[in-house]
Amino acid sequence: MAIACPKLQLRFLGLARSLPSLARQPLPCLLPARSSPITVLRAVRRTAKARTLSAVKDDQSLSSIITELEQEQEEDETAAGEDVTRRLPERWSEIHGRDDWAGLLDPMDPLLRSELIRYGEFAQACYDSFDYDPFSRYCGSCKYNRRRFFSSLGLEGIGYEVTRYLYATSNINLPNFFTKSRAGAKIWSQRANWMGYVAVSDDETTARLGRRDIVVAWRGTVTRLEWIADLMDFLRPVNSVGIPCPDPSVKVESGFAELYTDKDPTCRFCKYSAREQLLTEVRKLVELHSRAGEEVSISVTGHSLGSALAMLSAYDIAEMGLNVGEGGERVATTVFSFSGPRVGNGHFKERFEGLGIKAIRVVNVHDTVPKVPGILFNERVPAFLRRLAEALPWSYSHIGVELPLDHRRSPFLKETVDPSCFHNLEAHLHLLDGYHGKGHRFVLASGRDPALVNKACDFLKEHHMVPPFWRQDENKGMSRAHDGRWVQTDRQEVDDHPEDTQHHVQRLGLADDHHH
């Protein structure tokens, strides 16, 4: 009697197809690049077992071999992941763009893929923790206390501690980006929106990474793309908003610059600009850890509009000279951008890269956001036209190295015309997990759960039985009071700014910056 083997069919489909030619091929071509000796030996043993499948007549023996093969595959996947991670201390600067990711993108380097997903999850944490509910008194804030940020998201083992929350004042030029409560005077803030956070690796993670890592994560937009229409598509010099660039021809999009530098002295959360909040925290952390003799890195990440802020803030950190340790050593500064728009002109790109900042941009080729602003004049037009257009206020240029992905390559995703699906961050992380290089078959490398794609969109094929927009708070934040009524749960006081912020603002020479 034959037995059903659905797992065998799925897991070893590629192996079964290659069995007839195994004997004729040299062993090295069957194995992935950078394979460890243990992985090679296991692969040889597994191949030998697979060859016996066609000769097995007894159902019990067949079932036993299938079980062994599956167990060994799981062991290999775990060992491969551990082997890749173990190499991070010796390869981290390469992964952070030391050589502009030459030779790492096609075929896709497993360690780079893993790190890109990891930094993408820092950006995703901004979405998962943001209060979008207009009926909440806390709409526009972070739902979780800073000290329990990652544990509240189920990310206890992430190995980082959030040291500061970042806020921005509601910008009149980007009305569709800011989320406001309908609760009137009872809300947590009339003007502020939570924009992200600064975190630093703990001692155990620092040892695993090979350096002390400072992460800056900026919030973008999950589904609402109306903010794109708000872009003024007008370039302004960065030194006009307080960034000390000596070249007035270095320009960025006006709305991004104002969002980053605006402040409101009457608002408890926005009395310091997002820029001042960020720079003072980065300065403190770099000084603290470089003084202790540690190697330090600054990793800035963001999705969508958050990517624009990541590019602008990383540039600002370098322009201000904050990517230098106590001993004068350079602190590697890298942007991990996901589906970001263009930020500035060609001179901004040159200045950004000339300061030694590295940037890698993960994009879905069908997404509209990375194509704006600068639809007519951008880095893709011929050089002579770009030079002519450089003086125009709508000539833009992307920065860094692009990693283009195509959602049509994933067998998990359905056909749709919804642009918010193409733009979704979880979809990008899913595509990263399955990407192995141009022309390679889409295979999930880490087994990242495809259900995450539908967390805030409707992109998975229906036979996966994952409901769209499934992530939500229990009872939408309502709880039953002692008297039986249902009420909104009160939260702890919202974090604002450390007491020493003004001191560090003055140290950086930002105290006279009254831009608002």
* Catalytic residue, candidates 128, 316, 367, 495: 367
Least Cα distance to 362 among 430, 299, 274, 291 occurs for: 430
Least Cα distance to 322 among 197, 194, 508, 487 occurs for: 508
Q: Cα 40 to the chain's mean position, in Å?
A: 33
Structure tokens at 17: 């197809």
Active site includes 423?
yes
The answer to whether residues 299 and 97 touch, using CB atoms and an 8 Å cutoff, is no
Q: Cα 431 to the chain's mean position, in Å?
A: 13
Instruction: For residue 153, give the DSSP letter.
Output: T
Give the H or E element holding residue 362.
strand 358-364
* Catalytic residue, candidates 114, 304, 313, 339: 304
Burial 472-504 (b: 16+ CB within 10 A, else e): eeeeebeeeeeeeeeeeeebeebbbbeeebbeb
Active site includes 367?
yes
Axis crossing angle, helix 274-291 with helix 305-319, rounded to the nearest 10: 60
Structure tokens at 506: 């003055």
In SS3 terms, 297-337 reads as: EEEEEEECHHHHHHHHHHHHHHHCCCCECCCCCECEEEEEE
Q: Cα 142 to the chain's mean position, in Å?
A: 18
C-alpha 476/C-alpha 489 separation (Å) is 10
Distances (CA, A) of 507 to 16, 168, 270, 291, 414: 66, 22, 19, 17, 53
Between the two ends of the chain, the Cα-to-Cα distance in Å is 78
The answer to whether residues 281 and 163 touch, using CB atoms and an 8 Å cutoff, is yes
Cis peptide preceding 6, ω within 30 of 0: no
* 3-state secondary structure (DSSP) of residue 473: coil
Active site includes 428?
no
Burial 153-186 (b: 16+ CB within 10 A, else e): beeeebbbebbbbbbbbbbebbeebbbebeeeee
C-alpha 135/C-alpha 367 separation (Å) is 31
**Residues involved in catalysis:** 304, 367, 423
